[in-house]
Chains A and B, each alone.
Chain A
Amino acid sequence: MPLRPLQPNQLMLKILKYSFYDLIRSRWSYVYFLFYLLLGFVLLFLNNDVSKAIITLMNVIIILVPLISTIFGIMYFYNSKEFTELLLAQPVKRSSIFLGQYLGVAGSLTLSLVLGLGIPFVLYGLFKSDAIFDFTLLLVTGAFLTLIFTVLSFNIALSNENKIKGFGYAVLLWLFLAVIYDGLFLMSLIIFKEYPLDGFSLGATMFNPIDLSRTLILLKLDISALLGYTGAVFKKFFGTDQGFFVSMFMLVLWTVLPIWRLIYISKKKDF
């Protein structure tokens, strides 16, 4: 009996599954998972206070998650290059190959993050605490950051054949978005402080996914400080639900646009 050809979607799922299990077999997912598990337990053990642990966790999430996702993504892409080329020789849609791989990596990273942090917090009585919403938001932004930085690193890898160069760009990307961007941002705020800057400063936040996630979390943790500033744009952004929805929308955009580019480039690229 002839084998029935697989539909493109099924193919993508198959590749996704393959990448996912590949990562689990290589134990990196476990290491990542255990790291977060340990971090969660240590934080709660040392503080014994969910709200303080969440503040520390926020710092970890907006710095470490992008770094790990970037490095992981780029390493995986270069490592599985031979397998990718083998798949490219088959009658398989290119978008299925790259999307499948991407979703496999990003999915396993997200799963490690959510489970690793979720388990200790649940064990320490998160459901009884009123911090549950803050924590959920933290995990959602963490998941978004994983998705965004993995796809950004895939994009870099796809555009750079040279591994060293690609790796360098990826680390630079993280460094730029995590630290340098904010430094430039602050400098421009100080230089142009004679001008009304609230629109600009919110706009600048939108162009950096790390700042964007930080803003989302600030909306929950530091709203009392944010409302201290006089400015109609700020007040509208932070004082109503607008800030939350705009930031969420921008995060989705930050995920979707690089994925679209990944598919677009992979279709045109001559391997």
Chain B
Amino acid sequence: MIRYQSLLNFTFLLFFTVHLWAKPIVVCESCKVKSISEGIERAIDFDTLIVKKGTYKEYNIIINKPLTLIGEGYPKIDGEDKGEIIRIVSDNVTVDGFFIINVGTSYTTDYAAIRVVKSENFLIQNIVLEKLFFGIYLEKSNHGKVYHNKIIGDAKDEYNSGNGIQLWYSHHVEVSKNIIQGARDGIYLEFSDDIEIHDNKSTDNLRYGLHFMFSDDDVYTNNVFENNGAGVAVMFSKRIVMKGNTFRKNWGTAAFGMLLKEINDAEIIENTFEENTVGIHIEGSNRITYKGNNFIKNGWGIKVLGACYTNRFSGNNFLYNSFDISYDSKLNDNVFDGNYWSDYTGYDLDNNGIGDVPYRPVKLFSYIVNKTPEAIVLLRSLFMDIIDFSEKVSPVFTPDNLLDINPLMTQVQ
């Protein structure tokens, strides 16, 4: 009986203390705890900090224990351009619902609004960032999530602006439903493997909407990249999967929907490239599957430069591009099969949905424009149509095996 009672007492005590631990620390202007740093100092592991609505002029907030920071009514943290604002150096940290403004700009240190350093299982969500240098910077941090943040930058020059979300040596991170605009690069990945990037909207950034370097096995799906300085760049990476993304209105002399440079074994499926100067610009990329993509009203649908081998293009729609494919060498090792080309003029006598005459996607004119760029003003002139026709009949300048043997008669749905 006594034993029972002591057990009961013990349980009661345990329950009570747990309850004590779990009591959140409230930070507000009229509370006992007036600043977030102070709140973190008072907290013990696995505490919750609730930050009430108000303006907190703080910077260099270091979260060095597993904490949950929740902002109520988007409390404003104003860094007053003095430097970094939040630095997470502990595992299991959640930061939720803050409005962070005025990150310091520096030419020597990459100040970020939120920096996660060598930490695991972090969750950063519902953050609004304005007037930033770097936004969310993950450094050697794995297994985290960056979810539903809004990053509004005002980058003017590349040399004194930072990236919206940057991952550096970070693996297994999920970046989703973020809105990023006006940064240098919207999302930047370097040496980061197994990343999932989905449902983000990256627009009006100074350089790239998304920038990949040396990052393997990443997946990005259903993102929208619009009106970025140079579109999206994917470089030096292996086994990337890109699916259902939209690349729109990236105009300019060095702009493209997507740049692939030294990319191997990737899958590019069901993406839409619309009204870009170049839909996809490919350099030195091999064994890539392009399937079910839409290339609509681009200057160049696909521009192939340098050595690109055993790529396969099938089931894509090429609609009203000024040039469907541009090619600079006479050698072709890539397969074009079963695509729909809006410029196709052949017929289908056996009515099987596949044109009876092969389609040559590379026009002589695109070859001429590669050599003499000014000739672009002769686009769609009768003279060009005549020489394109003669090249179509007997290819001299363009690779003669570059053709789609089974061009579709109707669009791929």
Answer yes or no: A51 CB below 8 A from chain B CBs: yes
Digitize A208-246: 1 where CB-to-B-CB distance is under 8 Å, 0 elsewhere. 001100110110011111111111001100000000000
How many A-B pairs have beta carbons closer than 8 Å: the answer is 109
Report yes or no: A228 in contact with B381, Cβ–Cβ below 8 A.
no
Answer yes or no: B276 CB below 8 A from chain A CBs: yes
Given contacts A186-B378, A198-B374, contact A52 B253 (CB under 8 A): no
Report yes or no: A214 in contact with B253, Cβ–Cβ below 8 A.
no
Bound together, the chains give a CA A231 to CA B253 distance in angstroms of: 9
Answer yes or no: B121 CB below 8 A from chain A CBs: no
Given contacts A51-B320, A186-B368, contact A218 B253 (CB under 8 A): no
Answer yes or no: A109 CB below 8 A from chain B CBs: no
CB A169 to nearest CB in B, in angstroms, measures: 20
* In-complex Cβ contact of B380 among A58, A179, A183 (8 A): A58
Q: List 9 A-B contacts (CB under 8 A).
A: A179-B382, A190-B375, A211-B377, A215-B377, A224-B275, A224-B297, A227-B253, A227-B277, A229-B376
Report yes or no: B380 in contact with A224, Cβ–Cβ below 8 A.
no
* In-complex Cβ contact of A201 among B278, B298, B377, B383 (8 A): B377
Bound together, the chains give a CA A81 to CA B277 distance in angstroms of: 53
Bound together, the chains give a CA A227 to CA B376 distance in angstroms of: 10
Bound together, the chains give a CA A206 to CA B386 distance in angstroms of: 22
**Extra inter-chain contacts (10) besides given A58-B380, A228-B255, CB under 8 Å:** A59-B382, A179-B386, A186-B368, A193-B374, A198-B374, A214-B379, A215-B377, A222-B380, A225-B277, A230-B254
Bound together, the chains give a CA A97 to CA B196 distance in angstroms of: 77
Q: Using Cβ atoms and an 8 Å threshold, which residues of chain B touch A202?
A: 377
Report yes or no: A190 in contact with B381, Cβ–Cβ below 8 A.
no
Answer yes or no: B104 CB below 8 A from chain A CBs: no
Answer yes or no: A263 CB below 8 A from chain B CBs: no
Q: Using Cβ atoms and an 8 Å threshold, which residues of chain B touch A224?
A: 251, 275-277, 297-299, 322
Q: Using Cβ atoms and an 8 Å threshold, which residues of chain A touch B297?
A: 224
Report yes or no: A228 in contact with B371, Cβ–Cβ below 8 A.
no
Bound together, the chains give a CA A19 to CA B255 distance in angstroms of: 54
Q: Using Cβ atoms and an 8 Å threshold, which residues of chain A touch B374?
A: 189, 193, 197-198, 200-201, 229, 231, 234
Q: Using Cβ atoms and an 8 Å threshold, which residues of chain A touch B278?
A: 228
Report yes or no: A59 in contact with B385, Cβ–Cβ below 8 A.
yes
Report yes or no: A225 in contact with B322, Cβ–Cβ below 8 A.
yes
What is the size, in residues, of chain A's interface with B at 8 Å between Cβ atoms? 41
Report yes or no: A190 in contact with B277, Cβ–Cβ below 8 A.
no
Bound together, the chains give a CA A19 to CA B320 distance in angstroms of: 42
A-B pairs, top 4 by smallest CB distance, nearest first, are: A225-B299, A225-B322, A182-B383, A224-B299
Answer yes or no: A11 CB below 8 A from chain B CBs: no
Given contacts A182-B381, A186-B368, A218-B380, contact A228 B375 (CB under 8 A): no
Report yes or no: A228 in contact with B376, Cβ–Cβ below 8 A.
yes
Q: Using Cβ atoms and an 8 Å threshold, which residues of chain B touch A186?
A: 368, 375, 378, 383-384
Report yes or no: A227 in contact with B299, Cβ–Cβ below 8 A.
yes
CB B386 to nearest CB in A, in angstroms, measures: 7
Bound together, the chains give a CA A101 to CA B378 distance in angstroms of: 35
Answer yes or no: A178 CB below 8 A from chain B CBs: yes
Answer yes or no: B252 CB below 8 A from chain A CBs: yes
Report yes or no: A222 in contact with B372, Cβ–Cβ below 8 A.
no
Q: Using Cβ atoms and an 8 Å threshold, which residues of chain A touch B332?
A: none
Which A residue sits closest to B251, measured CB to CB?
Answer: A227
Q: Using Cβ atoms and an 8 Å threshold, which residues of chain A touch B342?
A: 52
Report yes or no: A230 in contact with B298, Cβ–Cβ below 8 A.
no
Q: Using Cβ atoms and an 8 Å threshold, which residues of chain A touch B322?
A: 222, 224-225
Answer yes or no: A44 CB below 8 A from chain B CBs: no
Q: Using Cβ atoms and an 8 Å threshold, which residues of chain B touch A228?
A: 252-253, 255, 277-278, 299-300, 376
Bound together, the chains give a CA A185 to CA B376 distance in angstroms of: 12
Report yes or no: A214 in contact with B381, Cβ–Cβ below 8 A.
yes
Q: Which residues of A contact B (CB under 8 A)?
A: 51-52, 55, 58-59, 62-63, 178-179, 182-183, 185-186, 189-190, 193, 197-198, 200-202, 205, 210-211, 214-215, 217-218, 221-231, 234-235
Q: Using Cβ atoms and an 8 Å threshold, which residues of chain B touch A183?
A: 383
* In-complex Cβ contact of B372 among A58, A189, A226, A234 (8 A): A189
Digitize B374-406: 1 where CB-to-A-CB distance is under 8 Å, 0 elsewhere. 111111111111100000000000000000000
Answer yes or no: B318 CB below 8 A from chain A CBs: no
Bound together, the chains give a CA A234 to CA B377 distance in angstroms of: 10
CB B376 to nearest CB in A, in angstroms, measures: 5
Which B residue sits closest to A222, measured CB to CB?
Answer: B322
Report yes or no: A193 in contact with B253, Cβ–Cβ below 8 A.
no
Bound together, the chains give a CA A235 to CA B373 distance in angstroms of: 13
* In-complex Cβ contact of B382 among A51, A63, A198, A218 (8 A): A63
Q: Using Cβ atoms and an 8 Å threshold, which residues of chain A touch B277?
A: 224-225, 227-228
Answer yes or no: B323 CB below 8 A from chain A CBs: yes
Report yes or no: A182 in contact with B372, Cβ–Cβ below 8 A.
no
* In-complex Cβ contact of B252 among A62, A210, A227, A231 (8 A): A227
Report yes or no: B373 in contact with A230, Cβ–Cβ below 8 A.
yes
Bound together, the chains give a CA A179 to CA B380 distance in angstroms of: 12
Report yes or no: B251 in contact with A229, Cβ–Cβ below 8 A.
no
Which B residue sits closest to A193, measured CB to CB?
Answer: B372
Which A residue sits closest to B386, measured CB to CB?
Answer: A179
Bound together, the chains give a CA A158 to CA B275 distance in angstroms of: 48
* In-complex Cβ contact of A218 among B254, B371, B372, B379 (8 A): B379
CB A69 to nearest CB in B, in angstroms, measures: 16
CB B359 to nearest CB in A, in angstroms, measures: 16
Report yes or no: B323 in contact with A225, Cβ–Cβ below 8 A.
yes
Which A residue sits closest to B274, measured CB to CB?
Answer: A224
CB B85 to nearest CB in A, in angstroms, measures: 38
Q: Using Cβ atoms and an 8 Å threshold, which residues of chain B touch A230?
A: 253-254, 373
Q: Using Cβ atoms and an 8 Å threshold, which residues of chain A touch B300?
A: 225, 228
CB A250 to nearest CB in B, in angstroms, measures: 14
Which A residue sits closest to B254, measured CB to CB?
Answer: A230
Which B residue sits closest to A226, measured CB to CB?
Answer: B376
Bound together, the chains give a CA A202 to CA B323 distance in angstroms of: 21
Bound together, the chains give a CA A226 to CA B275 distance in angstroms of: 12
Given contacts A189-B374, A201-B374, contact A226 B299 (CB under 8 A): yes
Report yes or no: B377 in contact with A190, Cβ–Cβ below 8 A.
no
CB B283 to nearest CB in A, in angstroms, measures: 16
